[in-house]
């Protein structure tokens, strides 16, 4: 008998994105339970915003939207049981950890690396772009931090990140997190469950929930 093909989901994210934080912290367990493979797609959100004429996050440009977002993040983190501390700098520069994530996107440590970077930013309120911060995370994962950072900072990998960001533009990505399943786009942490459900083969997230309770 042919083995059933596992579903796949592309996960486009930036470490400076607050709603990407929620998805990074949720996606590993959701995908594992649904038997879905995650393709990690780190990219730079800043150039996307600049293409719209924005110099920074819309949560900074629009005071009312920003105030709502911070309250919403508090609610969502309570809902999911995710650690939360409003960062003193937002959005934080995330170029180095994004380069590392791109370099390690197919490695078994990618999910844990991304989770720890996000926790540094949105729970510990630390500078995630500092080499010392990235090295600390890699060391704690029992990885060769110096070798990985050197590879991530290579000209080839830098070019790959620029190309990945151009690919995001070409796909019509306008924010993060964004998910793709069989070419279908889902935007926002509140659509992660629907994307997982489609990747699994269920038509809606409610179908997935119903199956869990059968």
Instruction: Tell whether the model's pLDDT for residue 193 goes beyond 50.
Output: yes
Whole-number average pLDDT of the chain: 93
CA pair distance 117, 29, nearest whole angstrom? 17
Instruction: Tell whether the model's pLDDT for residue 128 goes beyond 60.
Output: yes
Banded pLDDT at 5 (limits 50, 70, 90): confident
Counting other chains too, the contacts that 126-129 makes at CB distance below 8 Å and 24 or more residues apart are: 127/89, 127/92, 128/15, 128/92, 128/93, 128/94, 128/96, 128/97, 129/92, 129/93, 129/94, 129/95, 129/96, 129/97
Q: Read off φ and ψ for residue 187, nearest 5 degrees.
A: -120, 130
Q: Read off φ and ψ for residue 130, nearest 5 degrees.
A: -75, 140
Average pLDDT over residues 196-206: 74
Domains of the chain: 7-212 (3.40.30.10)
Q: Check residue 202 and give its pLDDT.
A: 62
Which tens digit of pLDDT belongs to each residue from 24-60? 999 999 999 999 999 999 999 999 999 999 989 999 9
Indicate the pTM of the whole model: 0.91
Work out the angle at residue 37's Cα, subtended by the Cα atoms of residues 21 and 135, and round it to the nearest 5 degrees.
50
Residues linked to residue 12 through DSSP beta bridges, in sequence order: 41, 178
Max CA separation in the chain (angstroms): 58
Query: Is residue 44 within 8 Å of residue 60, measured between CB atoms?
Result: no
């Amino acid at each position: 008998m042919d083995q059933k093909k596992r579903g796949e989901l592309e996960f486009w994210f930036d470490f400076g994105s607050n709603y990407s934080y929620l998805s990074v912290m949720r996606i590993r367990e959701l995908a594992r339970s649904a038997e879905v493979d995650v393709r990690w797609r780190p990219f730079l959100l800043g150039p996307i915003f600049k293409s719209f004429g924005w110099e920074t996050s819309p949560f900074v440009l629009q005071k009312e939207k920003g105030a709502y977002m911070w309250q919403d993040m508090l609610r969502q983190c309570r809902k999911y049981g995710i650690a939360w501390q409003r960062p003193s700098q937002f959005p934080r520069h995330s170029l180095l950890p994004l380069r590392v994530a791109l370099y390690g996107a197919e490695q078994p440590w990618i999910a844990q690396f991304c989770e720890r970077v996000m926790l540094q930013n949105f729970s510990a309120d630390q500078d995630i772009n500092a080499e010392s911060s990235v090295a600390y995370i890699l060391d704690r994962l029992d990885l060769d931090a110096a070798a990985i950072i050197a590879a991530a900072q290579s000209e080839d990998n830098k070019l790959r990140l620029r190309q990945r960001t151009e690919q995001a533009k070409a796909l019509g990505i306008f924010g993060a997190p964004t998910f793709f399943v069989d070419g279908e786009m889902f935007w926002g942490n509140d659509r992660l469950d629907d994307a997982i459900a489609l990747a699994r083969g269920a038509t809606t997230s409610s179908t997935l929930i119903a199956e869990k309770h059968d």
